[in-house]
Chains A and B, each alone.
Chain A
Amino acid sequence: MENAIEVTNLTKKYGTTVALENITMSCTHDKIYGLLGRNGAGKTTLLHLLAGQLLPTQGSLHIYGENVYENSEALAKICYVGSFSNINNYVKTFRVRDFLKTASLFYPNWDQDFADKLIKLFSLDIKKHYRNLSSGMLSMVSIIISLASRAPLTLLDEPYTGLDAAARQEFYDVLAEDYSNNPRTIIFSTHLIDEASKLFEDVILLHQGQILLQEPLETLEELSFVVSGDEETLKSMLSHKKIIKKETMGRRAAYSLFDTLSEKETDALTQAGLEVRSLTLQQLFVYLTANKEGLGC
């Protein structure tokens, strides 16, 4: 079976600005991918490209084995509504129900019952005009379209902007439940990493227009540690490891690793009086993107 997404040597330039540079990646069917990266890393550009809303400057892009460009069959399998930031003033005269009505006509697998359920869950007034919607309500509209479209490839770009903690939790729960009932490939771009990381199966980390890593979450958990204790001991015992962050507090220090630690090595570190803990995904993201060179340490 072909991959859901197959990207080869993809480059996107805006004039002279390079947004994405020579990206190669693939995503399998029915998996939730976390797309992480700092502001300006190229996440939104990548999602636009995957949805055929932007055209690559170089490279190729296939969704379910098909080229996306002007391919109605491939496009019908993708849903990426983003944050409605690109719509014009006349579309802004729409009411919520107009957005949902038009979206229902575009997506062949549209699930109206599910859309109604989400409208009720988010207590969204479908008679409200766009201009009267808060950013949280706009996010709700975006979420409803994304999920009710039942598109085999659903792209979510920070879908909870403006949502409060309770609404975000509702969204995570709905997404998890809907995903288990209707498995599909979801690419989820977010800055609230720890909050959303429970949903991720794989993580794609973009940095300065390039893919820094693409690994299953479990692999990342097995590769990221923080070891703290006496600095001299840390230096001598971890000299051959990839250290992505060093923090010193007097004679004590904490080294964050992005490397494997065997059981034997972990025991040796513990016996040497050092404390070994796992790094959270958010910490790993911060250290990797703040200090890319750290990978080569």
Chain B
Amino acid sequence: MLNPKVIRAHLGVYWRTQKILFLIFFTILIVNLGLQTFIATNINASSQSFDIATLLPTLIGVLVGMLVAIPIMQVTSIPYLLTLGSRRKDILFTATVNNGLYTTAITAILSILLGIYATSSNGLATIFMGTFLTGWSSILPIGIFNLFLFFLVTNIIFFIGVTFQRWGVMWGLGVLVLILSFPVWFLKEVYHFYIWGNSFLLVCFGMVLACMFFIFLSRLALSKAEVRPYRRKITIVSFIFFVCMLIVFSASVYFGTIHLSSDTSTINNSEGFAAHDQRVIENSFYSEGNQKLHLSWRSHLDEGNLVFTLKSPTQEIVYTASGSTNEMVTIPLTEGEWNYSVTIDDGNGRYSFRGLIK
């Protein structure tokens, strides 16, 4: 059982080293908010023009950056902790606790930002992993997913950092490239999940297993970690390992790209219309049969009407959506030419649909 004093001591060291991150984070936050406020009050002369959406990319960038920076800083604290007589397994435990705390905080901040954005936005609802961000309730599954995802990311980064610390640059880079190869290899699955989602439970369970795996790997790597009194040399073996991992990465890019474009096709369109527009947009796609269409439809109307219609090769209407709606459906496809149309009737608004045929 770990001594609470040791946990306090380790977290104290981590937080003291990481305060620079908070400084950067809050500086960006304050500068961004300051600029927004300045623009809103002095240029547009209206607080109505203050749009939180413009803040999101910067803040998300900082939060994601922190997910990388926090575990790296923890790794750099290892020699100091070993100097003060820490056990290697205690270092791993407290680093994991620290990662968990930061991950929770970052997820909470991000969820709040997304929630504010979702509830304040007047435009089309954002779709993320098969979930429409339309209110606070829609944030919950994404928040849970992000929590596991961020925790996994910090554990992976921590493992890569420990590899650098233990074996040096070449082995560290090799492991980094190897780990990057996995999502690249499964680019198709990652992309599909990002847009259309899948079983949250299964994916979260998979991420928990992956977290445990990387914590185990970190434990193995840390078990022989030392206060290094010398600089590790680049050996021929480490260089060959790095080159091999580069080859693996290149192969995964090649096959991942081929895999992405194989056996699937997409349909999508996004358009805004105004001033009582009145027209029909028609298009079609061919299905080889035994396929499914995963369709996400989003529309927002200020006035008028809007109808989306999907017709089978036998001209039977299999799906319609009208007005302001957000829907995600899966439609079995028979062989033949499928037609879809968007009818704008004296409308003013915006629509977007994205379909995956596989």
Contacts and interface: CB of A to CB of B under 8 A. Distances in A.
A51 interface: yes
Interface of B: 3, 5-6, 8-9, 12-13, 16-20, 73, 76-77, 79-80, 82-90, 224, 226-230, 233
A105 interface: yes
A15 interface: yes
A72 B226 CA distance: 16
Contact of A98 (B5, B16, B79, B224): B16
A174 to B, nearest CB: 22
Given A87-B80, A88-B79, A78 B17 contact: no
Interface in A245-268: none
B82 A53 contact: yes
Contacts of B80: 86-88, 91
Contact of B84 (A48, A70, A71, A81): A81
Instruction: Tell me the dominant secondary structure on chain B's binding face.
Output: helix
A87 B84 contact: no
Contacts of B84: 81, 102-103, 106-107
26 contacts: A52-B82, A53-B83, A53-B226, A53-B227, A55-B224, A70-B88, A75-B85, A86-B79, A86-B83, A86-B228, A87-B80, A87-B83, A88-B76, A88-B79, A88-B80, A90-B76, A91-B16, A91-B77, A93-B20, A102-B9, A102-B84, A103-B84, A105-B6, A106-B6, A106-B84, A106-B85
Given A88-B77, A91-B77, A94-B16, 17 more contacts: A44-B229, A48-B227, A51-B85, A53-B83, A55-B224, A72-B87, A75-B85, A86-B83, A86-B227, A88-B79, A88-B80, A90-B17, A93-B17, A106-B9, A106-B86, A107-B84, A108-B5
A79 B82 CA distance: 11
Nearest to B228: A86
Contact of B76 (A78, A85, A89): A89
Consensus secondary structure, chain A interface:
loop
Contacts of A51: 83, 85
A73 to B, nearest CB: 10
A112 to B, nearest CB: 14
Most interface-central of A44, A91, A101 (chain B CB within 10 A): A91
- Candidate in A71, A82, A88, A93 with the most chain B CB atoms within 10 angstroms: A88
Nearest to A94: B16
Contacts of B228: 86
Interface string A83-120: 01111111101100010011101111000000000000
A54 B85 CA distance: 11
Contact of A101 (B12, B73, B83): B12
B86 A105 contact: no
A73 B286 CA distance: 71
A59 to B, nearest CB: 16
A81 B86 CA distance: 12
A80 interface: yes
